[in-house]
Structure 1
Amino acid sequence: MLLNVTFLKLFAVTTATLLVTSVVVVILSQVHHWYRQYHLRNIPGPASQSFAYGNLRQVFSLHGWEFHKSMVQKYGRVTKIWGFFGDAQLHIGDPKALYNILIKDQDVFEETDAFIEANKIFFGPGLLGTLGTLHRRQRKLLVPIFSANHMRYMIPVFYKITHQLHDILQTKLANGPQEIDVKEWMTRVALEIVGQSGLGYSFETLDETKSNQYAAAVKMLFPAFGAIPILRQILPYVCNIGTPSFRRWAVRFLPSKNVQLLIKATKAMDETSKKIFYLKKAALEKGDDTVVQQIGEGRDIMSVLMRSNLNAHEADRMPDYELLGQMSTLVFSAMDTTSSALSRIMLLLSLNPKVQDRLRQELIDARKEYGGDLDYDDLHALPYLEAICRETLRAYPPITQTPRIARKDAMLPLSTPIRANDGSTINEILIPKNSTVFVAIQTLNTDPLIWGPDATEWKPERWLSPLPESVINAHIPGVYSNMLTFLGGGRACIGFKFSQMEIKIILSLLIPSFRFSTTDKTTDWLMGAVSSPVISGSMKPSMPLILTPINPEA
């Protein structure tokens, strides 16, 4: 008995000692981090709201547009913001610094642990949930599939689905103008397009009489995640506690409606992805005759990827779980951002009827000239359509910012010097290891020093004449048209050509046949991970517009 008491006392003392030691180590580590970041405190920025959360609630607020606008107006291209417990972070819109972050030192400035862990939980180890060598190996297999040449093969699928949407809307408007939830239908058509051309699978989202658990899960994912912004910050600290089975068991008891929605959504996505994957794998094993009988006829992205994977060198191949990870990554990336961009274009055209009329006439004339649907090159040759797409993606990128973390010390040179809090001039910034920086996509896209004093205004005409020298001289490190909407470097959006083509095909069929105009309902846009329209006062993605049928032949 005495031995047991002695053992329990020893165990209690040992446990307490380990706990205290762990706390001391964490505190000392944080103090050391604060010391190494001391010079960052000299960079101007907004005051911290609290020691615990800093400015993070403002930075990630779904209604944070004014905060971001005022931050840039007051502090300029580089702003210090406060993270958890006094962690100094930088919001960066300087093109020279961003060139280093995205291109020159891209192996130093990686995606944050929170970003990687969230994407691994939601989508598996796909492109968005991997780093370093693993990410590069996956990208090597995927890049050829997203080439312009392969996009040309997909155009018939894009048109087939968009014609279905066109016919549905015509039926709805048979008795005249109607209020239509454009966001809902842009999401439906984007999901069906990526389903058939990306996975060789139909989600049947254009059929309102049918429901699909995968489609419902994908739609609820980001709204639910965006409603609990603190989750993305704490994921790195909790995602590796215990075994996967323990975490799945424990998370069921969290008293959060949005957490439970996330669990339900990821489970549905995982089950459907596995079903599609193993059906496709079985078809490939049976040979090409079986594959061509599937939706997509074997030309869909996943079929091509799986064949390329089989033929790749053994060291470059993806195991099944990585291929599965690409499926949900592909669907989500292609659906949410594209439907957001399309909804924004439709709203802007509604607010600018003269622009809408001019675009309509260009599309009607082109369809008459080419005798119907336009091919890949003809679509890209339409100057006003191109201008509207570019200007919308410049002024209103669906993703407004993205974080990076320095995996080791790095120096960032600046295009524009900073006037520090102590009055000195800063021309370059030492970013200490484990410091977070935000790639300020919208800040750079609408920088008046680059785009001129009307940089924040939506003006498609700016693309119909040569761009200012300031745009060319800025050397913006993006993969698309002197902007950062699709990022740049090794983690640039691999599917930006896919998205461009989809947007243009949908506009080319809908604008000639329907006039879009606003309703008496006010539309707000939530920032979130991907910006999304909602009816003022609501949190559900929605954007009602009045659609009026017109005769393009008249």
Structure 2
Amino acid sequence: MVVITISHGRHWYRQRHLRRIPGPPSQSFVFKGNLQQIFSLQGWDFHKRMVQRYGRVVKIWGFFGDAQLHIADSKALYNVLIKDQDIFEETDAFIEANKLFFGPGLLGTLGDLHRRQRKLLVPIFSANHMRYMTPIFYKITHQLEDVLRIKLANGPQEVDMKEWMTRVALEIIGQSGLGYSFETLDESKSNQYAIAVKMLFPAFGGIPVLRKLLPYLCNLGTPSLRRFAVRFLPSKSVQLLIKATNTMDEMSRNIFYEKKAALKKGDDSVVHQIGEGRDIMSILMRSNLNGDEKDRMPDYELLGQMSTLVFSAMDTTSAALSRIFLLLSLNPEVQDKLRQEIVDARKEYGGDMDYDDLNALPYLEAICRETLRAYPPINQAPRIARRDTILPLRSPIKGSDGSTINEVYVPKNTTVIIGIRTLNTDPLIWGPDAAEWKPERWLSPLPESVTNARIPGVYSNMLTFLGGGRACIGFKFSQMEIKIILSLLIPSFRFSTTEKKTDWLMGIVAFPVVLGSTKPSMPLILTPIEA
């Protein structure tokens, strides 16, 4: 304990210059700081007020007076995400949690190991491979369309679109990612893997203190001792997590070894599996076998990718789709304009459009971009400095002592929170209407303030999918999934709001609820449209 105290005191002293950076007052020196406000499910107003009052670089307080930085300055974030990405890594809590849930997949590894895994996965998520996967996306979305038409056989009805977007996103990543069907579009069937994946975030959210202690707890004793000890923790959330991770691990192993056996038998066996051998895991396993020996992943790393893929593709995409359907319900003139564009295009191409034709629809593209800009599913992302460094600023800030700060010295072990939505909606970049949802802004050239900002993201001048070596590897997959679902459901149904007001909770991934509830849900009225 003395060592920890001395270490903390040294860290506190090395951060002394950060205290002159403006920021909100601490709620509590010992346990809270500002973290409860920053990560609150209802944190939208706090974030808005914080940026309006303190600017793009804000000092916030962590535990025991730990100074952290909330950053939405594009030049500083270029260093965090690209130039100095080897310095600013994922936090220990993030890595240990993902290793615990998914194994050593992309979300649970750092450094050379992460780069080696990513090297094998990047080609599978290329635009060329997306072209091969679109038939799987269409097949599943047509099944969803049929299910909804049956539900609406007697006319307009209230439908929980969040529930169905989660179901379809899970089935799409199941078939196109794992070559496995979760059968989530059949309400009469339940799948334990699907149930486990959906309970993971809610259960993890129920243990805020243990989340902070994970980096320390994961290094105590042997793995077998930790597994034995955790069973006796008197926490419902912990027991749900154990159940979920055990279920995911067992089913991932079954899917993996069945696929591996088919690959050994030859291409004929693989083609007869779901996905016909074009799914991500089949291609990854083939690439792994044929790759250089030094770059190959052992079986436990390949297994780690499976649950990582499912989890990453389900919540974020279903949240983005839910947001789009809600916005279209609130803006019927936009919905009608989009419907007309899709109907005209489907007539021109004779039905389902291929990858390139779908990407050529300007209004569909504008709606997707604007939603992902104004309402990114993930609003912030923490990083930690693994060694001392300096962050230059695009916009100087005024210190609490009146000094002008053009760059910030960041000591080792300082946490930096990337303000994704804050930068995406910065009025100095996007204009005074930056916080408004306006798809039309993408139908004309972007202002110079956007292009000159040099936002270090992989997607369309925004940070929604982050940037650098830990950018979202599946952003093309997500975009294509969203567009195919919209291209089939918008011409088939008219979406409108109900009397129930929808609220959005921040969470790790933002999610909709009926006002006053915390259960993910977004009821809309669906009216069938005759073909």
TM-score, length of structure 1 as denominator length: 0.95
The aligned residue for residue 89 of structure 2 is: 110
- Do the aligned partners of 1:106 and 1:490 also contact (CA within 8 Å) in 2? yes
Q: Which string of whole-angstrom CA distances, capped at 9 and with x for unpartnered residues, describes residues 177-235 of structure 1?
A: 00000000000000000000000000000010000000001111112222333333221
The aligned residue for residue 98 of structure 1 is: 77
- Residues in 1 aligned to 2:455 and 2:209: alpha-carbon distance in whole angstroms: 31
Alignment map for 1:197-236 (pairs within 5 Å): 197-236=176-215
- Residues in 1 aligned to 2:530 and 2:53: alpha-carbon distance in whole angstroms: 50
Q: CA deviation at 1:534?
A: 1.1
1:280 partner letter? K
Matched, 1:38 2:21: no
2:420 partner letter? I
- Residues in 1 aligned to 2:344 and 2:175: alpha-carbon distance in whole angstroms: 30
1:311 partner letter? N
Q: Which string of whole-angstrom CA distances, capped at 9 and with x for unpartnered residues, describes residues 231-256 of structure 1?
A: 33221121221111211122122222
- Do the aligned partners of 1:93 and 1:441 also contact (CA within 8 Å) in 2? yes
The aligned residue for residue 384 of structure 1 is: 363
**2:460 alignment partner, SS class:** coil
Q: Which has the larger radius of gyration?
A: 1
**2:457 alignment partner, SS class:** coil
- Residues in 2 aligned to 1:256 and 1:537: alpha-carbon distance in whole angstroms: 25
The aligned residue for residue 280 of structure 1 is: 259
Q: CA deviation at 1:539?
A: 1.7
Q: CA deviation at 1:382?
A: 0.3
The aligned residue for residue 25 of structure 1 is: 3
- Do the aligned partners of 1:60 and 1:229 also contact (CA within 8 Å) in 2? no
Task: Give the stretch that moved more between structures: 389-398 or 47-56.
Answer: 47-56
- Residues in 2 aligned to 1:298 and 1:133: alpha-carbon distance in whole angstroms: 29
2:68 partner letter? Q
The aligned residue for residue 424 of structure 2 is: 445
Task: Give the stretch that moved more between structures: 537-546 or 280-289.
Answer: 537-546
Percent of paired sites with the same residue = 82
The aligned residue for residue 522 of structure 2 is: 543
Matched, 1:47 2:37: no
- Residues in 1 aligned to 2:519 and 2:299: alpha-carbon distance in whole angstroms: 35
Q: Please, which of 157, 177, 182 is the counterpart of residue 178 of structure 1?
A: 157
1:36 partner letter? R
Structure 1 runs not aligned, ≥5 long = 1-22
The aligned residue for residue 406 of structure 1 is: 385
- Residues in 2 aligned to 1:543 and 1:327: alpha-carbon distance in whole angstroms: 28
Q: Please, which of 315, 327, 338 is the counterpart of residue 348 of structure 1?
A: 327
Q: CA deviation at 1:262?
A: 1.2
**1:373 alignment partner, SS class:** coil
The aligned residue for residue 337 of structure 1 is: 316
- Residues in 1 aligned to 2:319 and 2:207: alpha-carbon distance in whole angstroms: 20
- Residues in 1 aligned to 2:237 and 2:498: alpha-carbon distance in whole angstroms: 30
The aligned residue for residue 415 of structure 2 is: 436
- Residues in 2 aligned to 1:540 and 1:429: alpha-carbon distance in whole angstroms: 41
**1:545 alignment partner, SS class:** strand
Alignment map for 1:227-246 (pairs within 5 Å): 227-246=206-225
Matched, 1:142 2:113: no
- Residues in 1 aligned to 2:170 and 2:276: alpha-carbon distance in whole angstroms: 18
Q: Please, which of 117, 123, 128 is the counterpart of residue 102 of structure 2?
A: 123
TM-score, length of structure 2 as denominator length: 0.99
Q: CA deviation at 1:155?
A: 0.5
**1:511 alignment partner, SS class:** helix
The aligned residue for residue 328 of structure 1 is: 307
Count of residues in correspondence between the two structures: 530
- Residues in 2 aligned to 1:396 and 1:108: alpha-carbon distance in whole angstroms: 28
Matched, 1:493 2:476: no
1:69 partner letter? K
- Residues in 2 aligned to 1:410 and 1:132: alpha-carbon distance in whole angstroms: 18
1:132 partner letter? G
- Residues in 2 aligned to 1:384 and 1:241: alpha-carbon distance in whole angstroms: 54
The aligned residue for residue 282 of structure 2 is: 303
The aligned residue for residue 527 of structure 1 is: 506
- Do the aligned partners of 1:225 and 1:258 also contact (CA within 8 Å) in 2? yes
Task: Give the stretch that moved more between structures: 203-212 or 254-263.
Answer: 254-263
Q: Which string of whole-angstrom CA distances, capped at 9 and with x for unpartnered residues, describes residues 343-379 of structure 1?
A: 0000000011110010011010100110000110011
2:455 partner letter? I
1:317 partner letter? R
Task: Give the stretch that moved more between structures: 531-540 or 211-220.
Answer: 531-540
The aligned residue for residue 145 of structure 2 is: 166
- Residues in 1 aligned to 2:239 and 2:145: alpha-carbon distance in whole angstroms: 36
The aligned residue for residue 441 of structure 2 is: 462
Q: Which string of whole-angstrom CA distances, capped at 9 and with x for unpartnered residues, describes residues 26-70 of structure 1?
A: 111111101100000000001111112211111111111111111
- Residues in 2 aligned to 1:354 and 1:231: alpha-carbon distance in whole angstroms: 47
- Do the aligned partners of 1:65 and 1:527 also contact (CA within 8 Å) in 2? yes
1:420 partner letter? G
